[in-house]
Structure 1
């Protein structure tokens, strides 16, 4: 029987909270550290993927980034990708101290924004023994420019400049903006897809009450400087799985495949899921099962050998 307990650790002095799930049997176990994407709390999707992984004998540590969900940190709903990447590394450091975990067999898993984060973590932290990247954000500027279109992107840029001036003048965290909107042509949001709004609000009602569907405006400004391409080229020998949704128009599957092709590791695998959208990997159990199964098999292959 699996066991699950709440844990907490410090990341750059901020208390981060999560759940540690251990497989049946005797440890020390290999581990996947799991983080979510934009405005995510750990109850969104991660437990669904974790179940298949734990069944393969790999423990998981699911956590909320600082400023999100159960974790501490201010301002709330502030999404700083550099800080979130540090939270991943702090989670690894914490896991190394646990007697149930084999610190020599730790991997990272991420979805959407975190799908990009784990490529950076894997490239910059030698403790990472495998990377699992699902439908990742890989180029924030190009992503925003394409999903908004030229006119709305111009309006988004003006909003961010106005907010920057106000933050400098007032010394505050600035304004907030929706993650998505049901009326994206009337209301600016970071991700202008009504399907995101509908699906995430359904998930919030059903199983993730701590989800807040907004972020600081500065979060979107930081997204424009996000580019994992240079880091992907450093994955010389790290086993890396990238799961891509065919035709993904939210995080842009052509950009994802381009980054995958730039990874020099001979131990890489690309899985393009046909007739699967970005959002179906949150909302459709059959699609979740396929992606979860791929992650579980990859983690077992690269983490379950070589027990100390």
Structure 2
């Protein structure tokens, strides 16, 4: 059995709570930091990866961002991508000081929204020695425009503007919207895919009771200005594995492959998992284990 420790660290005054999976062997070990995507808590899919890394001799730290899960933060269910990236950086600062961690061998893993964060971190934090970016969000505006379609995108914009007005008129008040919904025509959500709500509610029932199917509307407002394009051009020397689901039309595999091709480094690898989808990388155990094996192999090689 892999040893799992409860740990915590400060991020801009708030406490982020985490699990540290310790690799066998003692001493200072290479370590990978993991955090989730839209509304995720640490129980969602990430333990499979952390256990695989630890069994291969690599520590793994899974944490909840501020405002989510067991971590502190008064603005609950608010997803600020740049604050989440700072949470990653503060997790790295915590690990640098930990007795079980080799501070010169720290990697980052991300999935979906955090798959984009991993690319930003590879470009902006020299302490990150290698990354795995899995089914990443690349361009929030383009993603929302294509995911919602013309009429629903108009409704999404109307809700964002209503929220901006409310926050101006009544400071401290805000609107919320579902992460996903069964009926996009009846209810505006962040990610309007029935398979998303079904998958995450099933995970909530079995493994992740603290998951909530909602975020602030401002979270989507911030997503619309999120674009990793300017950052991937700065990944010159950080080994980068991108794992893409064939035909992924949630985070858009054409954008993902375009971002991969824009990375100037030769220390990169693209793996397209055939006959899969974005959501089966959560719901299909065999697909999750395949992706975990790919990530483990990469980290063993590069850390």
Q: In 2 relative to 1, CA 127–175 (structure 1 residues): closer, same or farther, beyond 3 Å? A: same
Q: What is the aligned partner in structure 2 of residue 54 from structure 1?
A: 54
Asked whether the 8 Å contact 1:75–1:173 carries over to 2, the reply is no
How far off its partner does 1:172 sit? Answer: 1.6
Superposed, 1:59-138 pairs within 5 Å as 59-138=59-138
SS of alignment partner, residue 91 of structure 1 = helix
Asked whether the 8 Å contact 1:173–1:216 carries over to 2, the reply is no
1:279 pairs with 2:282:
no
1-structure distance, mates of 2:74, 2:251: 27
Q: What whole-Å deviation, never above 9, does each CA across 1:31-78 have from its counterpart, x for those lacking one? A: 000010000000000001112111111100000000000100021000
SS of alignment partner, residue 210 of structure 1 = coil
How far off its partner does 1:173 sit? Answer: 4.2
Q: CA RMSD in A?
A: 0.7
SS of alignment partner, residue 118 of structure 2 = helix
Superposed, 1:11-30 pairs within 5 Å as 11-30=11-30
1-structure distance, mates of 2:184, 2:202: 18
Where structure 2 has 5 or more consecutive residues not aligned to the other structure, the ranges are none
SS of alignment partner, residue 281 of structure 2 = helix
Asked whether the 8 Å contact 1:119–1:232 carries over to 2, the reply is yes
Asked whether the 8 Å contact 1:137–1:256 carries over to 2, the reply is yes
Give the paired residue count. 303
Superposed, 1:1-308 pairs within 5 Å as 1-303=1-303
How far off its partner does 1:13 sit? Answer: 1.0
Where structure 1 has 5 or more consecutive residues not aligned to the other structure, the ranges are 304-308
1-structure distance, mates of 2:83, 2:204: 25
2-structure distance, mates of 1:195, 1:185: 15
Q: What whole-Å deviation, never above 9, does each CA across 1:143-172 have from its counterpart, x for those lacking one? A: 000000011101100110011000011002
How far off its partner does 1:2 sit? Answer: 2.4
Asked whether the 8 Å contact 2:39–2:77 carries over to 1, the reply is yes
Asked whether the 8 Å contact 2:166–2:173 carries over to 1, the reply is no
Q: What whole-Å deviation, never above 9, does each CA across 1:224-264 have from its counterpart, x for those lacking one? A: 00000110111001000000000001000000000000001
TM-score under structure 2 length normalisation: 0.99
2-structure distance, mates of 1:274, 1:27: 39
SS of alignment partner, residue 130 of structure 1 = strand
2-structure distance, mates of 1:170, 1:37: 29
TM-score under structure 1 length normalisation: 0.97
